[in-house]
Structure 1
Amino acid sequence: MHDVAWDLTAWLLRSYPTVEFDRAAVLFGAATHDIGKVRHPRELSGPGSDHEAAGYELLLGQGIDERLARFAQTHGCWDRPGTELEDLLVSLADKVWKAKRIPDLERLVVGRLAEASGEQAWQTFLKLDEELDRLATGADRRLDFQNRYPVAA
């Protein structure tokens, strides 16, 4: 998922150079968003959201600043008040990594990018849609690799 976040943020820097966001924070969030699964291993190969709060607490317990630890908690709930662009980007990378497209999430990202860039939302949507399609292309291969190494809880 980190590779997808890397590519997504690189695209964002190229396509929207005036949009301000903390790329390092997004990449940290991408690298650690599922860390709580060490406490909830059944969620490594199955559904669940218990790992979100657990990951947040785990990172805080290790001295990670809340500004970075939050991604463990926010990657599954992007529609809360106060959600920042960085949170949306981590969530988006997490979804597109497995070729899952979430229209409500994508609309939020489009809205933020269009507002910050002054571009029409439909133009932003077309650009983002094309990039997400490109990023999702390798999902079958990524998921197949992951499924070859199942984790028993």
Structure 2
Amino acid sequence: MELRSVEELMDLLYACRGAWRASPGPRGGRVDLHQHALRTAALLRRSRPADKELQVAGLVHAIGPLLRPGDESAHAHCAAEAVRSLLGERVSRLVRGHVPGGGPADDDLLRLRQAEEEGRTAGFDAGVLEDWRTVLELMAARNSRLGAVD
């Protein structure tokens, strides 16, 4: 599935609300994908305030389970492909690599993985999804202009 608009992406992110997924790792438990996405993005906003692409990768990384239910191994790849044309190559690369084994890890991927892990258990108010709409729209508009030049 390829997302063609910010509205489609927002709908998918809203659909994450109430979607639960088992949390890997020693802490276990279950994670609400909607809150997890917001917390991961908020943590990245705190640590890398100027890097909007990294923050957005943190926000959208959690859509994979909705795109391919039951296929754990394909979640990162499906999410990356879904956002590539809308949000650009870097966001897609970060989403694909957010799981260990998803590619060589640079500083950005390590920070995304750390925020993703912390976002599973962090208990803070990460705001609301609507707070991200403008950032997503600006990124999609910029990416479409870049794509038109190629």
Which of 1 and 2 has greater Rg? Answer: 1
